[in-house]
Structure 1
Amino acid sequence: MRNIANIKPSAILVSLIQNAKLSNTVSRIALRDANKQWCAHITKPRCIRDQQTLLNVAEQLRLIIVQVSQRRCRITPTHWAALVHLEADLRNAFAQNINLEPLLDTVAANSEHSEVA
């Protein structure tokens, strides 16, 4: 069994964008949107992240999975497993409330999230 906390969705998404060779425009846009949402998610400190983003990215990946399974889109066969596993891992991380790719909580002294001693 894999340890979900150790997966790196950002690396997997970049690999899929570069190498999956999706044949359908809708699927390519969904993958690009998933990557944009994930990049915006991981740039935020852990304390202000919205875990709903995991489900949003998983839904974008589910769209691609459905299109490939219905033969509306082709994907490089070696990347099919990575796509399916990432979608399942994101849903599982959401269900278990696991923070993927944590960013250190460095909050500026003048931000609204900082505490005054």
Structure 2
Amino acid sequence: MLLGIPKKTLIIVAVLAGVVLIYALGSGERPSEAESGSAGCRVAVTADVLNVRSGPGLGHGIVGKFQQNAETDAEPLVRNGFRKLAEGRWAADEFLDPVDGARCG
């Protein structure tokens, strides 16, 4: 007994704390980062002006714009013809070309 706590209880608490710590450290990694490594997915804009929307579709509001030849980080996820750039930021994939060496899936 340590501090009035049975040894068995201390071991269970330590194991649970370890599991929580491992989960917390791994939860910050997104699947796209794991798949693409440090090079990641980076794209260049081919349209004159490209709207960035809050979701994957034309019905979602515009939250930003990119000019032609602008480059940005992106994720491998494409839904309804829109590539996910970041949380709440999507752009039409047909106007995005992966830059040399990018791994965009």
Tell me which interval the TM-score lies in, with the shorter structure as reference length. Answer: under 0.3
Q: Which has the larger radius of gyration?
A: 2
Q: Which has the higher contact order (CA 8 A, sep 6+)?
A: 1
